[in-house]
């Protein structure tokens, strides 16, 4: 939450300021009021009212517009649309990427990332960082979960690529 915002929680524990900010940024980033309403479980008119209220606070200087807030809500939108961010392993170490960016890679590169991530998961937990440099803010359980998620995402992308190639072969044979 941006500095200067005063949280006003309702009895259910929902921070009104965060809802206002979310409605403003998510609609500014291209989500429809209907999509935002569905995500926040509020009405479309509430989305508009909350977004307008936050925009007014920005104009009046009551809250600063911050790049970090826009980035946060952009990430929320991406994940709401199914574009998850994953951490994977390559021969050069750990990397983070959006699913949509991974989808742009060719099949051979995806297969390489898939195999190196699977190899990482199969390593003895105590030997993992003999081969790979420890990432910043290391949490030993978090990395296992993140790499497992990446394997699933990359595997699904490989399957999509394989199906696309099969379809292209069928159309070129005719």
Distance CA 40, CA 60 (A): 26
> Rg of the chain over CA atoms, in angstroms?
21
What is the reported pLDDT for 53?
94
b/e map 68-103, b = 16+ CB within 10 Å? ebeebbeebbbeeeeebbbbbbeeeebeebbbeebb
Write out pLDDT tens, residues 119-153: 888 876 656 556 666 666 666 667 788 888 889 99
Q: Are 132 and 116 in contact (CB under 8 A)?
A: no
Write out pLDDT tens, residues 34-51: 989 988 889 999 999 999
Write out pLDDT tens, residues 75-115: 888 887 788 888 898 888 889 898 989 999 999 999 999 99
In the chain, where are the structural domains located?
16-80, 85-173
């Amino acid at each position: 939450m941006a500095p200067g915002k005063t949280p006003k929680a309702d009895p259910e524990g929902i921070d009104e300021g965060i809802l206002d900010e979310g409605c403003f940024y998510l609609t500014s980033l291209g989500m429809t009021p209907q999509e935002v309403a569905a995500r926040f479980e509020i009405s479309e008119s509430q989305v508009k009212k909350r977004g307008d209220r936050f925009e007014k606070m920005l104009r009046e200087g009551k809250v600063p517009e911050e790049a970090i807030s826009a980035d946060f809500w952009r990430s929320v939108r991406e994940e709401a649309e199914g574009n998850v961010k994953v951490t994977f392993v390559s021969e050069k170490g750990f990397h983070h990427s959006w699913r949509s960016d991974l989808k742009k890679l060719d099949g051979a590169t995806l297969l390489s990332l898939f195999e190196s991530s699977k190899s990482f998961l199969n390593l003895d937990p105590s030997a993992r960082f003999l081969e790979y440099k420890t990432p910043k803010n290391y949490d030993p359980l978090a990395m296992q979960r993140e790499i497992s998620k990446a394997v699933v995402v990359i595997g699904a992308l490989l399957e999509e690529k394989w199906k696309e190639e099969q379809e292209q072969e069928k159309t070129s044979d005719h």
